[in-house]
Structure 1
Amino acid sequence: MHLHSFVLKDLFRRKTKLMVAVLGVVVAAAAIVAVITTFSVAEESFHEATNKFGANVVVRPAIESIPLVDGYSTMGSLYAGNNYIDESDIQKIYTIRDNASLSVVAPRLYGIAELEGSSVVVMGIDPEQERNLKPWWMVRGHWLTDEDTEVPEALLGSDIAVPLGLTEGSMISLSRENISIDVRVAGVIESTGDNEDGYVILPLATSQYLLSQEGKVSSLEVRALCNACPVEEMSQQIEGVLPGIEARAMSQIVQNEMAIVDHTRSSAMAVSIITLLVSTLTVASTMLASINEKMKEIGIMRAIGASDIQIVSMLFFEGALIGAVGGFIGFFVGTLASFIAAPMLVSETPDPMWNILLPVVGVCIFTGMLASLVPAKRALGIDPAEVLRSV
C-alpha cells in the first residue's frame, strides 16, 4: 500500500480531528480572503471619495519676487514674470510620464468685473472639468454648459446672489473697461465656506472675452488619483513640460490620503499574519496528537523498512492536503464574509476575487506543510525496537 493511500485512509478514520485541523485553516483562509476582498473594494471606494478633496497639484505661472530696498528700508516688492498660462499649453500636461494618474485638469481664469456698480471676482472655468473637481458643490438651478447659447450663463456664489436676490433665470450685466455682457444666472452655489461664495463663475471662453484674455488661464488645478502615485514627482514632470510655470503639490492632502491607505493596509496585514499563525498552530497540534496515537503504526512502518524521507513525506502530504481543503473552503467562506462586511464599512458590494484563489490555497498548503515539521520531528524520534517490544 502506498504511504499516501495510508494517509487518506487514516484521515477518514479520524474525521473529528481532521475537521478541527481543516477548520483552523478555513478560518485563516477566510480571514485572509475577507480582508483582501474588503480592503480592495474599500480602497476603490476611498479613491472615489478622495476625488471630493479637490486638487492636489496647483499649477501657476512662476513669478519672481524682487524686494525693493532703499538703504536699510524695505519699500515692498516688485513681481516679475508672466501672469498667465497659454490655454494651448494645457494639453502638454497629458504628455508627462505619469499621465495615467491624472484625473482632472481644471483651468481657471481670474479677474475683476463690475456688477451693479460693485466690483466682483470673475472666475472662468471649464464646466466639465470643474464639475469633476468639485462634485460637492450644491447648485440651486443647473450646472454650466460648454454649449454656445445666445445668452451666456453664470453660476453665482451665495454671498453675491442672496444680497441681490438673484436666482436661476435672473439676468445680470457684467462689465470691464469698454466690454459689457448680459448673463443669465444658471444657478446659485450653496455656501461652501470657501472663496467661491463670492465669485461670479463663467465658462472659460466667456470670461476670456470679458477680461480681454483670449487663450489665457490664470492657473490649473490638477487632481491625481493617488494610490502611492508620486505627486511631488508629477509636479516636477509638469514643470518640465511647461517651462515658466510652478507646479505645487498640496502635500497635506496627499499625506492624509496615503496615511489612510497605509494604516488600512497595515491592519489588514496584521490580521492576515495572526490568522496564519493561529492556523499553523492548530494544524500542528492536531497532527502532533495524531502522531501520539499512531506511534505503534509508525514504529512498525519504520521497522519494516520505511525510510525517514517516506515518513516525512507522508506527514507533509497530510499537512498539504489539510491546507488545500481548508484553503479552498476558506476562499468561499471569506468571499461570503466580505459580501457582508464590505457594505457595512464602505457601502459597496465586492466581486469575488478569483485571481487570489490559487495564491490563497497555495499559502494554506505551505502553512499545512510548515505545521508538519514538529510532528515530523516527533515521528522520526520514534524507536522501532521500543515500539515492537510493547506490541
Structure 2
Amino acid sequence: MKMKLYNISIQSIRRRKSRTAFLIIGLLIAIASFVTLFIVSENVNKSIAESLDEFGANMIITPKSDGLNLNYGGVSIVGLTVENGSLKESDIVKIKSIKNKENLSIIAPKLFNKVTVKPENSSFEKNVIAAGVNFRDEIRLKKWWKVSGKFPEKSNEILVGNDIAKKLNVSLNQKISLNKKEFIATGILHETGSQDDGLIFIDLKTAQDLFNKKDELSLIEIAARCYDCPIQEIVRQTSAKLPDAKVTAIKQTIESKMAAIHSFEHFSFGISTVILVISLLVVFTNVNASVNERTKEIGIFMAVGFRKSHIIQVILLEVLISSIVAGLSGFFIGVGAAKIITPVLSMNAESNINYNYSLLFISVGMAILAGMLASIFPALRAARLDPTVAFRSL
C-alpha cells in the first residue's frame, strides 16, 4: 500500500504541475529569504563588528595604585599619576600571550607626564600634559582624528592638541621647547571634543627618555574584537596575566557596538518571520483548493477501500516531496543571493561570505515543517469528507 500511495502522490504532482509549482514557489521564497537574510546578517554583522572594534578602544589597562584620577576616554582611571607608573612595556608581551590573543586588534600604550612648554620666540611658558604614544597604533585606534599638517614621523616631531594650539598660539612647523628640549609641531589636531584637545602627543620612546621613565607606561588602550568572544572573557584573561594592573572594559562603547550589531539581526528575523507566515498561508490556500478540486478523486479512493489515513498520507506525501524540493532550491538560491547582497551591504567588494552547510539541512527541515503545518488541516478535511458527497461526484 505504501508503494501505491507513493506512486499516487507522484502521479498527482505530475498531473497538477502548475499547482505544485505554485506550492513549491511559495515555500521556496520563504526558505531563500531566510537563507539570504541569515547569511547576510551573519556576515554583515561580523564585518560591522570588526570595523567597530577598530574604531576606538573598548578596554583600558591602568596601574593598581593610589594617585591622581584622570578621566580618559570617558573612564575614570584610578591610580594614574604623572609622577609614577607601574605598567611596563614588557606587559604588552604578556597581553599578547592570552588565550584569545587573536581577538586583540590594536594595542596602544601611553605614557603621560607633566611638561613645560615654551613656543619659539615666546617668553610664555605653560605646564601641560604630554602623552607619549606609538603614532602608528594611535592613528589606527582613533580613525576620527584629523590634523592640519601631518602626523609626526620622526622622534623630534609632535602633534599638538587643538586647545593647546589655541592657548599657546602654536602654528604649523613651529619649534616648541618641551622641558627645554626642542621639537617641531608638524601637526595640529582638529577639535575632537575629548581630552585629546588638551594634550601634546610625542613619540613614546622619546617621552620615556624625556621624562626619565625608561620602559614605563601610564596606561594601555586596547581595541578588542568582541564579536565572537565576550569582552569580559578577554578582560579576565588579561587580568590573570597582569595581576598588578586594573583591566577595565568600556561598557558604554561595548553596548553601543552590540546594539549596532544586533539591530540588523532583529530586522532580518522580523522579515524572515513575516515571509514565512505568508508562505504558510500560500501553502494552506493551495492545498485547501487542491482538496476542493479532488472531491471526485477522493470518492474513487473511498470506493476502492482507501481509509482516511491513506487519503491523509497521499496529500501529505505530495506536500512533503514539494517541501524537500523547495528547501533544497531555496537554500542554493539564498546562498547565491547572499553572495550578491553581502558585498553591497558591507561596502567591501572583496568580502567573502561564510556559511555552514548545516544550514542546508535546517532549510529543508524548515520547508518540511512549514509544509506539513500548513497541510494538516486540509488533509484532515479531505479525510473527513462525507462519503455520500464524494460518491455523488463520481
TM-score with structure 2 setting the length: 0.81
The CA deviation at 1:52 is 5.5
* Alpha carbons 1:110, 1:124 under 8 Å: kept: yes
Change (3 A) 1:173 1:321: same
1:370 pairs with 2:360? no
Partner of 1:70: none
* Alpha carbons 2:54, 2:106 under 8 Å: kept: no
Partner of 1:158: 162
1:63-119 residue CA offsets vs partner (Å, 9 max, x unmatched) = 2479xxxxxxxxxxx999963311112221233344333222211100122221322
Question: What is the alpha-carbon distance in structure 2 between the residues aligned to residue 28 and residue 330 of structure 1?
Answer: 8
Gaps of 5+ in 2: 69-78, 119-124
Change (3 A) 1:353 1:332: farther
The CA deviation at 1:242 is 0.9
1:123-156 residue CA offsets vs partner (Å, 9 max, x unmatched) = 11122322221111113343344xxx5x532222
Change (3 A) 1:79 1:172: closer
Question: What is the alpha-carbon distance in structure 2 between the residues aligned to residue 91 and residue 204 of structure 1?
Answer: 16
* Alpha carbons 2:160, 2:185 under 8 Å: kept: yes
Question: What is the alpha-carbon distance in structure 2 between the residues aligned to residue 126 and residue 315 of structure 1?
Answer: 71
Partner of 2:197: 197
Gaps of 5+ in 1: 67-77
Question: What is the alpha-carbon distance in structure 2 between the residues aligned to residue 285 and residue 353 of structure 1?
Answer: 36
The CA deviation at 1:58 is 1.4
Change (3 A) 1:227 1:195: same
Question: What is the alpha-carbon distance in structure 2 between the residues aligned to residue 303 and residue 186 of structure 1?
Answer: 97
Alignment of 1:239-258 (within 5 A): 239-258=239-258
Change (3 A) 1:165 1:122: closer
* Alpha carbons 2:55, 2:143 under 8 Å: kept: no
Question: What is the alpha-carbon distance in structure 2 between the residues aligned to residue 252 and residue 133 of structure 1?
Answer: 17
TM-score with structure 1 setting the length: 0.81
Question: What is the alpha-carbon distance in structure 2 between the residues aligned to residue 130 and residue 50 of structure 1?
Answer: 15
The CA deviation at 1:310 is 4.4
- Root-mean-square deviation (CA), in Å? 3.3
Question: What is the alpha-carbon distance in structure 2 between the residues aligned to residue 82 and residue 214 of structure 1?
Answer: 12
1:287-306 residue CA offsets vs partner (Å, 9 max, x unmatched) = 12111211221332244344
Corresponding residue pairs, total: 371
Report % sequence identity: 31
Structure 1 residue aligned with 2:60, among 53, 58, 61?
A: 58
3-state SS of the aligned residue for 1:372? helix
* Alpha carbons 1:41, 1:348 under 8 Å: kept: no
Structure 2 residue aligned with 1:101, among 71, 81, 103?
A: 103
Moved more, 2-11 or 110-119: 2-11
Change (3 A) 1:187 1:301: same
Moved more, 200-209 or 152-161: 152-161
Change (3 A) 1:363 1:348: farther
Matching residue's letter, 1:173: S
Question: What is the alpha-carbon distance in structure 2 between the residues aligned to residue 143 and residue 255 of structure 1?
Answer: 31
Matching residue's letter, 2:269: M
The CA deviation at 1:207 is 0.6
The CA deviation at 1:220 is 0.9
The CA deviation at 1:28 is 1.6
